[in-house]
Structure 1
Amino acid sequence: MPIQPRPEELPRLWLMSDARNDAVLEDALARLPEGSALVFRHYHLGSVARRERFEMLRSICRSKGLRLILSDRASEARAWDADGVYGPPDRLGDAADMLRVTTAHDAAELAAAGAADAHAVMISPVFATRSHPGAPALGPEGFHDLARRTSVPVVALGGMTAERARDLGVVRWAAIDGLS
């Protein structure tokens, strides 16, 4: 049966993993409030090491009441017992039984997120970010313009911190450095 979380049931904080915060993930997870989420990317690891790291972090997430979202195909997320899948809209289609999260950088990607029946869309990059040095940022005005164009619950991503989230007036936000 397809899950359909209400917007208020979605995590407010989303910690994104990558190579540069891997060494501090356990500490970062310990600071997250219950109901937050970890989006496990770890593209820098080989398949066996990636799965082992996922398993170890999954036990921490379960013990703290955190959602664990796998960036991969839906079939992989299901096999790994993740709470959801993160990726491009075309990878969300067969994930009716789990949380579906995608990213949008423009209006076309935002429309694709809606067409894919995503539960949440990360609009990015709101601010300059080390993940994509030199990439143009949306800024507050660009972020809000895109956010108004969708009925999919929005997560602000890119250069986000707690202070920036407050200034933007957003309920949900995601970060690598800002939460690590």
Structure 2
Amino acid sequence: MARTAAALGARGASRKPSLLFFTDPERTPEIEAAMARLPRGAAVVYRAFGAADAEPRARRLLAAARALGLKLLIGADAALALRIGADGVHLPQRLAAQARGLRHRGLLVTAAAHDLPAARRALAWGADAVVVSAIFPSASPSAGPPMGPVRLAALVRVVGGPVYALGGVNDKTARRLLPTGVVGIAAVEALRT
């Protein structure tokens, strides 16, 4: 996956990471170990899902990210991202409108989108990029039906902004995303080991 992400990153002059590692308390319990295997310039999206220790854990992850040359985005909590000085925030589709208030706060803002209208809305509200899912069949309990690389490429052509691909992305499927026009790839379990 790192090679595919590097190929995507080498195509453009984007300052956006070409690889996003999404954490999940159940599926990625060893976040720091996974971070140590990521290539420099990748980003970690820390999703605390309401954990009581979210802030101290986010601060530790930020320190680790800085030491490893990674970026840290906080999932669904812009206030926490701003408080700890994270590099950005990732907004679930239901919170994408919050991107409006974050445009000039110095954060990289990504937003989840599960279809073209949601992706267009998130970009119009000020998201720097959208993370579209699911692309391939996924083990995620929240993954919808996969759209596949052909439909993803069609979305990328008309959406009007940068797109990341998430959902079932792994070493075998990532290469199929090269011709789609995405700026990067994202994964949960494929990056944990």
TM-score tier by shorter-chain length is 0.7 to 0.9
RMSD: 1.8
Deviates more, 1:78-87 or 1:128-137: 128-137
Alignment match, 2:48: 42
Task: Give the TM-score, by structure 2 length.
Answer: 0.82
Deviation by residue 1:9-62 (Cα, 9 ceiling, x = unmatched): 11011000111244321111011111100001121522xx11121111111101
> Is the 1:89–1:102 contact (alpha carbons within 8 Å) kept by the matching residues of 2?
yes
Task: Give the TM-score, by structure 1 length.
Answer: 0.88
Counterparts of 2:108 and 2:143, CA distance in 1 = 31
Alignment match, 1:93: 100
- C-alpha displacement at 1:77, in angstroms? 1.6
> Match for 1:57 among 56, 61, 78?
61
Counterparts of 1:178 and 1:171, CA distance in 2 = 18
What does 1:1-180 align with in structure 2 at a 5 Å threshold?
Answer: 8-43=14-49, 45-46=51-52, 49-87=53-91, 88-95=95-102, 96=104, 97-132=106-141, 135-169=144-178, 170-180=182-192
- C-alpha displacement at 1:117, in angstroms? 2.1
Unaligned runs of 5+ in 2: 1-11
* Identity within the alignment, %: 32
Q: In structure 1, give the amino acid aligned to 2:125.
A: A
- C-alpha displacement at 1:143, in angstroms? 1.4
Aligned residue pairs, count: 173
Counterparts of 1:7 and 1:43, CA distance in 2 = 33
- C-alpha displacement at 1:157, in angstroms? 0.4
Counterparts of 1:125 and 1:40, CA distance in 2 = 19
- C-alpha displacement at 1:93, in angstroms? 1.6
Counterparts of 1:144 and 1:177, CA distance in 2 = 24
- C-alpha displacement at 1:124, in angstroms? 0.5
Unaligned runs of 5+ in 1: 1-5
Deviation by residue 1:36-91 (Cα, 9 ceiling, x = unmatched): 00001121522xx1112111111110101111001124333211211111103211
- Detail structure 1 runs of 4+ shifted over 4 Å in the superposition: none
Q: In structure 2, give the amino acid aligned to 1:40.
A: Y
Residue 168 to residue 42, structure 1, CA distance change in 2 (3 Å): same
Counterparts of 1:152 and 1:127, CA distance in 2 = 21
